[in-house]
Structures are given as C-alpha cells and as structure tokens.
C-alpha cells in the first residue's frame, strides 16, 4: 500500500514537472505581461519613429529576423559582433554589406531595458517584435508575436553561408532550403512576399538581368542603367515597384516578369508555385493572413527557451 502511494506521488510529480517544463518552453504572446508590461509598446514606438525617418529601415529590420531564424533558429545570433570566440554571421556572404539596422536594434534594446528596469527582453524576441512592427508601420498585417526566446551565446558564419537562401537559387533549391527549416512551399511563396519592401544590391540581381530569359526586356533594360555589366555592384534597386509599402505589388510584378532577383522570378516561372503567386497578385487579404501565419511559424524555428542560452545585456556580445 505504502509503495503504491509512493509511486503515485512520484507519478504526479513527474507529470507536473513535465507539464511545467513544456509550458515554460513554449512561446506565448503574453510572456512579458508581468515582467515588463510596457515592453511591446516601447519597442513599437521606437520602430514607428525610425520607419517614419527612413522607411527602408523597416525592410532591414524584417530581414534581420529572417536571416536570424534561417541559421540555427531564431536566437539572435545574427546580432553578435566578431570576437575571438564569435565567428560573426554579420560577415557571412548573405549579410555583409547587405543586412543593416543593427544600430536601431541597439536603440530599441536600450529603450526597452530602461522601460523594464533591467534586461528582461531577449534580443531574439526584439527581432521578432520589430519584424511585426515594421510590417505594420509600412501598411502590412499585424499578428500576435510569440515570445519567450532566449539569446544564443554562439554564432556561425559558416552556417549562415550554408542556410540563408541565395538570390540565385532555383525553385527546387528554394523549396529544399525551406523544407530543411520545417517550412513548406506555401511558406516559401508567402514569406518571399517580404520582398514587397526594401532594396537589393546590383551584385545580387546582375546575373538575372543580363543572363536570364524569364524577365521583361523593358524591365531588364531599365535595371541595366542602375546595374552596369561592369562595376556598380553596390547600387540599389527596389525589390518591387512600391518598395515603401507592404502590399501585393511583389506578386503582380512576378506575374509580369518584373521580379528583381532570379530567386524571386523562380516563384512564377511555369512551375508548382505559379498559382499561389497568381492568387496573391490580386488577393491582398489572403496574402496578409497567410503572411502572418507563416512568419509566426518561422519564428518557432528552434528557439532557445527555459534555461537555454541567456538574455543578453548587449545584443552585440554575450554576457560574461
């Protein structure tokens, strides 16, 4: 009898511990409600002010979240500066001279820590929140950001080079890349819609405008003035015709063979993703709803939670 009671106590303790662990490790939109109730409003106010000063920063902040999640999960590793122990992802091919907005993240981190009275909000969560707030500030949809990520204490330039989708990828390479991160073809098409805001460097679309046939000749000719065959690699062109507005122009551009990047136009090139691109080109509501769902899904890629990682005091370096 005593042994059965002892077993029952152990079983209940085990079940409680398991439930508690699972509950603690899951992301939730209410994570900071008690520890820092002003966290989200503070972040939103800084993002809105920065986007108002320069709308291009919104695309940069969104891209930071994407490039962070596609390496070793959404863990803030992209924010770490080079050090003797950190092989910074900032120096990876997809990021160097391309990804920006780090100073704005520093400003947000300082503001939110001041609002909280201490370092409570992780840098990884800041990236997820500013991605949402940037999209909203540029006219896009909103969603409940899942929170509770902790920050990585490591980074990997090699992993960034290997895992962030390249602008020269074919459709099959894009599908495989997204699948490797637990994302499907629909997620690929939807999240690529993030290219409805922002700009790309000439070096990333030069081969597309000079070598590819699936591009409108007039559009290619226009881009050749911006991006000469020799030189001009850092010159910028908008990713779609309304680069300061989060809308469906990206998809209507693809339908008209006006995709800036080779990888963009691959989404509408006579293959399995054509129908979804076609739908989004005229269905703003469907795109907004699906984008919100897919970016939440992306934000759940291998987050550090519970006692994993840390909450960095400075997003650029690990705590010591």
Active site (catalytic) residues = 67
| 181 appears as a binding residue in the annotation | no
| 173 appears as a binding residue in the annotation | no
| 12 appears as a binding residue in the annotation | no
| 294 appears as a binding residue in the annotation | no
**Both structure tokens of 121:** 């909000």
| 283 appears as a binding residue in the annotation | no
Q: How far is CA 121 from the centre of its chain?
A: 18
| 73 appears as a binding residue in the annotation | yes
Which stretches within the chain are classed as H helix?
2-25, 39-53, 56-72, 102-116, 123-137, 157-163, 171-180, 185-192, 202-211, 217-226, 249-255, 262-265, 274-280, 284-299
| 89 appears as a binding residue in the annotation | yes
| 217 appears as a binding residue in the annotation | no
* Residue 199 CB coordination number (10 Å): 17
| 68 appears as a binding residue in the annotation | yes
CA geometry: angle at 182 spanning 61 and 299, to 5°? 30
* Residue 198 CB coordination number (10 Å): 22
In sequence order, the 6+-apart residues with CB closer than 8 A to the CB of 320 are: none
| 106 appears as a binding residue in the annotation | no
**Are 75 and 68 within 8 A, CB to CB?**
yes
State the binding site for Ca(2+): 68, 71, 73, 75, 77, 89, 196, 240, 247
Residue ranges for the binding site for heme b?
Answer: 195
* Annotated binding-site residue numbers for substrate: 165
What residues are designated binding site? 68, 71, 73, 75, 77, 89, 165, 195-196, 240, 247
């Amino acid at each position: 009898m005593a042994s059965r009671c002892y077993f029952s106590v152990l079983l209940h303790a085990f079940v409680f511990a398991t439930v508690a662990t699972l509950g603690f490790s899951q992301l939730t939109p209410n994570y900071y409600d008690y520890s820092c109730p002003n966290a989200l409003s503070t972040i939103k106010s800084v993002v809105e002010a920065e986007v108002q000063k320069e709308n291009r920063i919104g695309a940069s902040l969104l891209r930071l979240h994407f490039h962070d999640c596609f390496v070793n999960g959404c863990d803030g590793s992209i924010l770490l500066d080079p050090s003797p122990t950190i092989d910074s992802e900032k120096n990876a091919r997809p990021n160097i001279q391309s990804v920006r907005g780090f100073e704005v993240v520093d400003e947000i981190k300082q503001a939110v820590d001041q609002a909280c009275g201490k370092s409570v909000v992780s840098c990884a969560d800041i990236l997820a929140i500013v991605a949402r707030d940037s999209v909203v500030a540029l006219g896009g949809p909103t969603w409940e950001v899942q929170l509770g990520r902790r920050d990585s204490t490591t980074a990997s330039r090699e992993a960034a080079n290997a895992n962030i989708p390249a602008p020269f990828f074919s459709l099959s390479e894009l599908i495989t890349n997204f699948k490797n991160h637990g994302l499907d073809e629909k997620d690929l098409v939807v999240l690529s819609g993030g290219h409805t805001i922002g700009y790309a460097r000439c070096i990333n679309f030069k081969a597309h405008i000079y070598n590819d046939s699936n591009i409108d000749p007039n559009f290619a000719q226009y881009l050749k003035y911006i991006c000469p065959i020799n030189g001009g690699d850092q010159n910028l062109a908008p990713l779609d015709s309304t680069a300061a507005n989060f809308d469906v122009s990206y998809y209507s551009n693809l339908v008209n063979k006006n995709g800036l990047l080779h990888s963009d136009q691959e989404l509408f090139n006579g293959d399995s993703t054509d129908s979804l691109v076609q739908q989004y080109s005229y269905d703003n509501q469907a795109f907004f709803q699906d984008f919100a769902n897919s970016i939440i899904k992306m934000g759940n890629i291998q987050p550090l939670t519970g006692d994993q990682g840390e909450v960095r005091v400075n997003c650029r370096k690990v705590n010591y």
